[in-house]
Structure 1
Amino acid sequence: MDPKDLFSANLLDGGIATCIEGQHTPSVIVIGAGISGIAAARSLYDASFKVTVLESRGRRGGRIHTDYSLGCPVDMGASWLHGVCNENPLAPLIRRLGLTLYRTSGDNSVLYDHDLESYMLFNIDGSQVPQETVVEIGETFKRILEETGKVRDEHPDDMSVSQAISIVLDRHPELRQNGLAHEVLQWYICRMEAWFAADADMISLQTWDQENVLSGGHGLMMQGYGPVINALANDIDVRLNHRVTKISNGYNKVMVTVEGGRIFIADSAIITVPLGILKANLIEFEPKLPDWKVSAIADLGVGNENKIALRFDNVFWPNVELLGVVAPSSYACGYFLNLHKATGNPVLVYMAAGRFAYDLEKLSDESAANFVMQQLKKMFPDASEPVQYLVSHWGTDPDSLGCYSYDLVGKPTDVYDKLRAPLGNLFFGGEAVSIDNQGSVHGAYSAGVMAAENCQRYILENQGHVDIVSVRHEVLASTIPLQISRM
């Protein structure tokens, strides 16, 4: 077939390209209905573009998934707003929707999404760890992290955070811990690993603390992120169960093939699929992606974090925000988020990250829930059985293959620029291409908006338009203050 025939009118899907009064309406295909794709589509729709979103799942939201089957909203994917402040690009929408945030940490928390103001830690036998031990080891952990900064300054070549901690402990034997204190230190490392959804031996020392974290601490979305997705997606043409298998671009057109052979054609496309999908080469590109783009995809890591949500008939646990499990290794540590304290619902959410998250996915859902219950019953011998449970599988989910990106050891400094860079009329969004906030919901949102603006400019300039005006959705224009509990 002649390449020009790829974009002939008779192959054009009727839902994509239209003409209004003889003028071509700019058309864009957005691939992926996560918040980055929905944000891109929202921006283009409000700018009067013809937009179609192709989503492989049977739902919108991507790695945002607010589940209501337990009788209340439970986010099985993203659940925090990182940066509870007006500078957060999602703040106007959250204000307008009247959503409430439960602040779980302030600025500069070592645990990032949680301060240790409301907690109980237990060892693997179910005995409570003295609070003074937790506080003391917390200060030790801060000192260890400070010393890793000196290691970084002394070594021009990158290394893992785990290797740097080993160097620090060799230099400062007084910082080494034994027995229960060692287990508490491993729990702190475990919580650090949860921030990246990766083990410490995979995290880059050079960049682990270089993220531009917004002020205001971190807030749990009490009604879940679902309302945000729904508001952004209002009136947008989202085609669910449309798994993209091939993207061909040329002659100022993009042809997108979905599973089953149906073809969509538009002026441009914005690709917001998870980095794990790109790394697995599940989408064929024609022409093939250039080597520099392939390298950028390979040079970033994709972490994994899973949740096991348990709903009970009665509340048998204390009124604290989190229940932690300390252990001889960070791999065996974990923690439960107490949604009852934050939202009033009798739900505990167990979280596991890195290799342990992958190992949990090897179990059946029932076995995973039983594993979690074994830990709870050691802490609370009178614990009742859950009436319902949910288990996530982000690492093996064929629509995500991981949770969110993180910096691998030795990552090139220009990897984000290359990952974000367009290829003609192909633009890239998603949390992994965020300039300053990879792995966050607001970073994914901003990346989608930026991709849409660049796409809009590209198309309109090709059509001879000089003045390009960005149109913001009216739902974002609001001066209502953020609603925050636990000030």
Structure 2
Amino acid sequence: MDSASRSNRQLRRALCYSNNAGKGQARSPSVIVIGAGMAGVAAARALHDASFKVVLLESRDRVGGRVHTDYSFGFPVDLGASWLHGVCQENPLAPVISRLGLPLYRTSGDNSVLYDHDLESRVLKTVVVSLIQANLCYALFDMDGNQVPQELVTKVGEAFESILKETDKVREEHDEDMSIQRAISIVFDRRPELRLEGLAHKVLQWYLCRMEGWFAADAETISLKSWDKEELLPGGHGLMVRGYLPVINTLAKGLDIRLGHRVTKITRHYIGVKVTVEGGKTFVADAVVVAVPLGVLKARTIKFEPRLPDWKEAAIDDLGVGIENKIIMHFDKVFWPNVEFLGVVSDTSYGCSYFLNLHKATGHCVLVYMPAGQLARDIEKMSDEAAANFAFTQLKKILPDASSPIQYLVSHWGTDANSLGSYSYDTVGKSHDLYERLRIPVDNLFFAGEATSMSYPGSVHGAFSTGLMAAEDCRMRVLERYGELDLFQPVMGEETPISVPFLISRL
């Protein structure tokens, strides 16, 4: 008997019964979820609650994936995702955060508000955080430590908005895609009056630096055609004051999670799927939800048998994955201005710096340096100590009397074998539809994660919503096979309805 036939027979026998079922007992439909990040945990939770037998395999020694709340300072700080983008009831994560009563600190350009857990989009119970002036959200400095006048910061921000509006015209006039950087150059050639000089130019580079941070990529790689395709929810951006881990832990409660299980191969058959992990151990089920980061899929560390279709592999290859890291510095006292963000302006976006002031949101003496793109890649080549020294050097440029940090943490999302990047973005010349192509199932393989969300790529709520969507697709496909499909059974309750699009292919 050849190995393929033997494998099929073993898989068929394994699928006939659950691990605890005796002969003749009805088995529960079974699913293996790969990756215990937000998408994977959401999918596993939904399928578990729909009475599926679920095993969740995670390569790390912890749950959360790119959600990583650290407590080594004696209080929570997020090394990965830390914001809820869109503080409103329309956000897919709103029901979970509401039930947990987690506070959010809203960061925005004109105000800062501590929201309680009801997440109402119109009538919010708020405690206005004291601000001397509403426009003191940012404090920018030049390399000599001189603070940039707030009037200039506001004026350049308006100019940057005008420049981006002009790039819309460039987009309409060109059939072929180009980078945001190239489009801005064209705008300057056409509208030389929009060029800024001296300090104003440096402030403009800081705004460009923050745009690059949003995509975790450099402006010369970001698509002009697709950079603004993401759907922005209302309500502003809420910092998770107690970290994101309580959300992950709540969703993961009671699930069968196998940590330290790095998947190396996924073999799919008509009758089910076999998953192999390092060391040779195998798991079998009716279906698999693949919820690993895009960077891991790109690295081909998981072998698919048979191979994924060409269109699926092309989606994996063509979507961009960027890097944004955090260097978190804990001080013994506050010596910086009472603003949400500190920045260093420079002649290039690469030379600019960006610090998040966690003291304003949490009361802890913490600043977070957040490099992105090429700068993040360069810093990842350093040791943790050298990276922390680099960040502190940037801080000393604007605050010469700064005291050294008493503790620090450094993330490495680009070189971490479990992530190989921070989050996805649209690259030049590639269609925004790639997110949907990555999401579409292949036989009994289902895909989830922020890189499968056309509406909310690169976000925690995007990952969460695609986990629910993959779970619903999987539930319907598996139950359909056994003639047990109930079209009116919700996966996670009527309060979180799932909109399942048609799966349309074209030969």
Q: Which TM-score band applies after superposition, normalised by the shorter structure?
A: over 0.9
Residue 90 in structure 1 maps to residue 93 in structure 2: yes
Q: Is the 8 A contact 2:343 2:353 kept in 1?
A: yes
Identify which of 37, 41, 45 aligns with 1:42: 45
Q: Is the 8 A contact 1:16 1:265 kept in 2?
A: no
Residue 159 in structure 1 maps to residue 178 in structure 2: yes
Q: Is the 8 A contact 1:40 1:448 kept in 2?
A: yes
Identify which of 278, 284, 292 aligns with 1:273: 292
Identify which of 329, 334, 352 aligns with 2:353: 334
For the residues of structure 1 that align with 2:151 and 2:195, how far apart are their CA atoms? Answer: 17
With 122-131 and 89-98 compared, the bigger mean Cα shift is at 122-131
Q: Is the 8 A contact 1:16 1:266 kept in 2?
A: no
So what's the TM-score if we normalise by structure 2?
0.89
Distance change >3 Å, CA 325–CA 409, structure 1 → 2: same
User: Helix, strand or coil for the counterpart of 1:416?
Assistant: helix
For the residues of structure 2 that align with 1:234 and 1:442, how far apart are their CA atoms? Answer: 19
Identify which of 261, 284, 302 aligns with 2:280: 261
Q: Is the 8 A contact 1:18 1:24 kept in 2?
A: no
Identify which of 98, 104, 125 aligns with 2:107: 104
For the residues of structure 1 that align with 2:269 and 2:16, how far apart are their CA atoms? Answer: 20
For the residues of structure 1 that align with 2:74 and 2:362, how far apart are their CA atoms? Answer: 12
For the residues of structure 1 that align with 2:55 and 2:485, how far apart are their CA atoms? Answer: 25
Corresponding position of 1:243 = 262
Residue 367 in structure 1 maps to residue 380 in structure 2: no
For the residues of structure 1 that align with 2:394 and 2:215, how far apart are their CA atoms? Answer: 24
For the residues of structure 2 that align with 1:75 and 1:467, how far apart are their CA atoms? Answer: 40
Q: Is the 8 A contact 2:17 2:27 kept in 1?
A: no
Query: How many residue pairs were aligned?
Result: 472
Corresponding position of 2:55 = 52
Paired letter, 2:4: P
Q: Summarize deviations over 1:89-148 as a string: whole Å, max 9, x none.
A: 1001101000011111279x9xxxxx9642210112222111111111111111101100
Q: Summarize deviations over 1:299-333 as a string: whole Å, max 9, x none.
A: 10001000000001111111110101111100111
Select the structure with the greater relative contact order (CA < 8 A; seq sep ≥ 6).
Answer: 1
Q: Summarize deviations over 1:425-461 as a string: whole Å, max 9, x none.
A: 1100011001310111000000010000000001000
Paired letter, 2:97: I
Q: Summarize deviations over 1:165-191 as a string: whole Å, max 9, x none.
A: 000011111111111111100000000
User: Helix, strand or coil for the counterpart of 1:397?
Assistant: coil
Q: Is the 8 A contact 2:450 2:463 kept in 1?
A: yes
Corresponding position of 1:213 = 232
Paired letter, 1:355: Q
For the residues of structure 1 that align with 2:356 and 2:469, how far apart are their CA atoms? Answer: 33
Corresponding position of 1:112 = none
Distance change >3 Å, CA 186–CA 16, structure 1 → 2: farther
Distance change >3 Å, CA 409–CA 377, structure 1 → 2: same
User: Helix, strand or coil for the counterpart of 2:356?
Assistant: strand
Q: Summarize deviations over 1:394-418 as a string: whole Å, max 9, x none.
A: 0011000001100011113532232
User: Helix, strand or coil for the counterpart of 1:331?
Assistant: coil
User: Helix, strand or coil for the counterpart of 1:255?
Assistant: strand
Identity of aligned residues (%): 62
For the residues of structure 2 that align with 1:474 and 1:210, how far apart are their CA atoms? Answer: 29
User: Helix, strand or coil for the counterpart of 1:63?
Assistant: coil
User: Helix, strand or coil for the counterpart of 2:206?
Assistant: helix
Paired letter, 2:78: D
Q: For residues 7-86 of structure 1, what are the structure 2 equivalents within 5 Å?
A: 7-9=8-10, 12=14, 17-19=19-21, 22-86=25-89
Residue 419 in structure 1 maps to residue 422 in structure 2: no
Identify which of 426, 429, 434 aligns with 1:410: 429
Corresponding position of 1:6 = 7
Residue 325 in structure 1 maps to residue 344 in structure 2: yes
For the residues of structure 2 that align with 1:278 and 1:116, how far apart are their CA atoms? Answer: 43
Distance change >3 Å, CA 58–CA 15, structure 1 → 2: farther
User: Helix, strand or coil for the counterpart of 1:124?
Assistant: coil
Q: Could you tell me how far 1:4 is from its partner in structure 2? A: 3.6
Q: For residues 138-217 of structure 1, what are the structure 2 equivalents within 5 Å?
A: 138-217=157-236
Q: Is the 8 A contact 1:16 1:264 kept in 2?
A: no
User: Helix, strand or coil for the counterpart of 1:249?
Assistant: strand
Corresponding position of 1:134 = 153
Q: Summarize deviations over 1:371-426 as a string: whole Å, max 9, x none.
A: 11112222222211111000000001100000110001111353223211111111
User: Helix, strand or coil for the counterpart of 1:405?
Assistant: strand
Gaps of 5+ in 1: 110-114, 478-487
Paired letter, 2:394: Q
For the residues of structure 1 that align with 2:170 and 2:464, how far apart are their CA atoms? Answer: 35
Residue 305 in structure 1 maps to residue 308 in structure 2: no
Q: Is the 8 A contact 1:17 1:50 kept in 2?
A: no
Paired letter, 1:6: S
For the residues of structure 1 that align with 2:169 and 2:324, how far apart are their CA atoms? Answer: 30
So what's the TM-score if we normalise by structure 1?
0.93
Corresponding position of 2:249 = 230
For the residues of structure 1 that align with 2:135 and 2:7, how far apart are their CA atoms? Answer: 59
Corresponding position of 2:448 = 429
Q: Is the 8 A contact 1:305 1:353 kept in 2?
A: yes
Paired letter, 1:19: A
Runs of 4+ in structure 1 over 3 Å off: 7-21, 468-477
For the residues of structure 2 that align with 1:214 and 1:154, how far apart are their CA atoms? Answer: 29
User: Helix, strand or coil for the counterpart of 1:330?
Assistant: coil
Q: Is the 8 A contact 2:432 2:454 kept in 1?
A: no
Q: Could you tell me how far 1:470 is from its partner in structure 2? A: 3.7
User: Helix, strand or coil for the counterpart of 1:152?
Assistant: helix
For the residues of structure 1 that align with 2:109 and 2:402, how far apart are their CA atoms? Answer: 32
User: Helix, strand or coil for the counterpart of 1:460?
Assistant: helix
Distance change >3 Å, CA 106–CA 338, structure 1 → 2: closer
Distance change >3 Å, CA 239–CA 383, structure 1 → 2: same
Corresponding position of 1:449 = 468
Corresponding position of 1:392 = 411
Q: Is the 8 A contact 2:108 2:137 kept in 1?
A: no
For the residues of structure 2 that align with 1:59 and 1:19, how far apart are their CA atoms? Answer: 30
RMSD: 2.2
Q: Summarize deviations over 1:212-241 as a string: whole Å, max 9, x none.
A: 111111111111100000000000111101
Gaps of 5+ in 2: 113-133, 497-507
Q: Summarize deviations over 1:14-69 as a string: whole Å, max 9, x none.
A: 99655377112101000000000000000000001000000000100000001111
Identify which of 456, 459, 470 aligns with 1:440: 459
Paired letter, 1:80: W
